[in-house]
């Protein structure tokens, strides 16, 4: 075995540049860890605004599932640092009275960084927003936006899938779904994406210590949150058939949402609707570009696309790691866990556990069942998983239909700079036979 893989597993730190010398490297490291030390003690792990993320890395499927489902011993509170206040401001304030540091602290908080029963209060209120019936209504929008974007480059015979399709499609679609102006999708969807793709692992190191609300990662989300809140005020006066209006009209225990609750919920819906789909589409198009026999099979039988998309999600989860904190003392596989320790739940490792997935490192377009962890499990399971699956399926179908002979320009295929919890590409150059526009 490669000596570097052994060293990376023994001195585990996912932010090390060596972890992404090639796309297979992190999975090779996780495979070795699962085999030799599936419950591994780690210290000083890089976490946003955590100076010493001491805890445990889990790489077995069953252990990860158990932690996700155990809300008695593990918590989501405090994942972004001990300085994070758990209080959610409920008092009414006007937009000009909003404290921007508090708004930054609320980014991504509701409901992702809450525990039951508080989590369930918000989750039940949000469930109807992305119900299966509503997802079905978005299929036409997804196909229309995808083809409009393909029209923009199909006559040239070349493209960058990431910049011209993978990123704008979910950004535009999410804006349309929420009720935000589509022409401003870059303003709303770009900041977090650009930060990750520009800074990569270096962002983690630069933000250790301090408070989350003062970090660039949090502050960059505030302008979009405030702009969404301004749109929400417009919806109070003139309601529309969109999610912003739904949230403005939402009642929790008989009261309307506070401005901080509303900003946090809009923020999580916005980011959740963009990053996962963008990264998964990139992995799909790179794999198809390198495996023309699989592409030919999907073109011949488009009914295979949903199973193909699930296998992409299993093999290359856009979000590689989830986190929990030990709340009550417990044990896993004989290891005593102490309150306050971090639990690093490696979805990437669990998705390739041979106890759950036969021949786990082989891509199989007919894999079923495929109970991957990419959307997590338990109460925090991804609310938008149905929409993400719809977007993946339709974008793949339309690319195969309209660009069936595309070839990767390998010198223009580039992984994003390593961000410990994420996997994806920031450039995917391709060439193909020019075609004709289809949208009027």
Q: What is the pLDDT of residue 81?
A: 64
pLDDT of residue 47: 55
- With tokens 């060293």, the residue in question is 7
For helices 168-178 and 185-199, what crossing angle results, to 10°?
140
Strands 55-58 and 255-256 turn out to be: unpaired
Burial of 19 (0-12, 13-18, 19+ CB in 10 A): buried
Domains of the chain with CATH codes? 85-321+369-431 (1.10.630.10)
pLDDT of amino acid 85 = 61
Q: Are 95 and 226 in contact (CB under 8 A)?
A: yes
Q: Are strands 342-346 and 55-58 parallel, antiparallel or unpaired?
A: parallel
CA 391, CA 143: separation in Å to the nearest integer?
8
CA distance 304 to 288: 13
**Residue ranges of E strands in 43-81:** 55-58, 74-75
- pTM comes to 0.94
pLDDT of 83 reads 44
Q: Using only C-alpha atoms, what is the Rg of the chain?
A: 21
Profile the chain (440 residues) by mean pLDDT over runs of 10 residues.
89 81 88 97 66 84 98 90 70 92 86 92 92 78 96 98 96 95 91 64 49 71 93 96 95 93 93 88 98 97 97 95 94 95 94 98 96 96 92 97 98 80 90 94
Q: Answer yes or no: are the C-beta atoms of 80 and 366 closer than 8 Å.
A: no
- E strands of 259-406, at which residues? 321-326, 330-332, 335-337, 342-346
């Amino acid at each position: 075995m490669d000596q570097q893989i052994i060293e990376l597993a023994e001195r585990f730190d996912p932010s090390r540049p060596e972890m992404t010398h090639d796309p297979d490297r992190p999975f090779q490291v996780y495979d070795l860890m699962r085999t030799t030390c599936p419950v591994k003690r780690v210290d000083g792990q890089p976490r946003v605004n955590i100076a010493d993320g001491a805890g445990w890395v889990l790489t077995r499927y069953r252990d990860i599932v158990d932690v996700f489902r155990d809300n008695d011993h593990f918590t989501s509170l405090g994942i972004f640092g001990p300085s994070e206040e758990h209080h959610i401001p409920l008092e009414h304030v006007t937009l000009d009275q909003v404290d921007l540091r508090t708004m930054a602290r609320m980014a991504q908080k509701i409901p992702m960084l809450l525990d039951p029963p508080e989590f369930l209060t918000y989750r039940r209120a949000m469930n109807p927003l992305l119900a299966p019936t509503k997802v079905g209504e978005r299929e036409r929008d997804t196909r229309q936006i995808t083809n409009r974007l393909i029209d923009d480059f199909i006559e040239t015979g070349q493209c960058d899938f990431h910049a011209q399709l993978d990123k704008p499609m979910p950004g535009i679609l999410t804006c349309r779904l929420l009720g935000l102006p589509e022409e401003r999708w870059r303003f709303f969807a770009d900041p977090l994406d650009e930060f990750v793709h520009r800074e990569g692992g270096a962002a983690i190191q630069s933000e250790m210590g301090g408070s989350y609300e003062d970090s660039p990662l949090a502050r960059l989300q505030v302008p979009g949150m405030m702009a969404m809140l301004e749109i929400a005020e417009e919806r109070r006066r003139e309601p529309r058939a969109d999610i912003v209006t739904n949230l403005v009209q939402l009642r929790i225990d008989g009261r309307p949402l506070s401005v901080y609750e509303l900003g946090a919920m809009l923020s999580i819906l916005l980011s959740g609707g963009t990053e996962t789909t963008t990264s998964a589409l990139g992995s799909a198009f790179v794999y198809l570009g390198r495996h023309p026999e699989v592409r030919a099979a999907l073109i011949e039988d488009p009914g295979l696309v949903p199973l193909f998309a699930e296998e992409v999600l299993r093999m290359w989860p856009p979000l590689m790691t989830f986190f929990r904190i030990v709340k009550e003392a417990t044990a896993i596989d004989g290891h005593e866990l102490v309150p306050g320790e971090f639990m690093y739940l490696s979805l990437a490792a669990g998705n390739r556990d041979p106890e759950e997935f036969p021949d786990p490192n082989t891509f199989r377009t007919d894999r079923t069942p495929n109970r991957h962890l990419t959307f997590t499990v338990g109460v925090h399971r991804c609310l938008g998983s149905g929409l993400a699956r719809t977007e993946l399926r339709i974008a793949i179908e339309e690319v195969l239909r309209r660009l069936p002979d595309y070839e990767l320009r390998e010198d223009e295929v580039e992984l994003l700079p390593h961000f410990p919890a994420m996997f994806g590409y920031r450039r995917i150059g391709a060439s193909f036979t020019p075609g004709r526009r289809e949208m009027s």
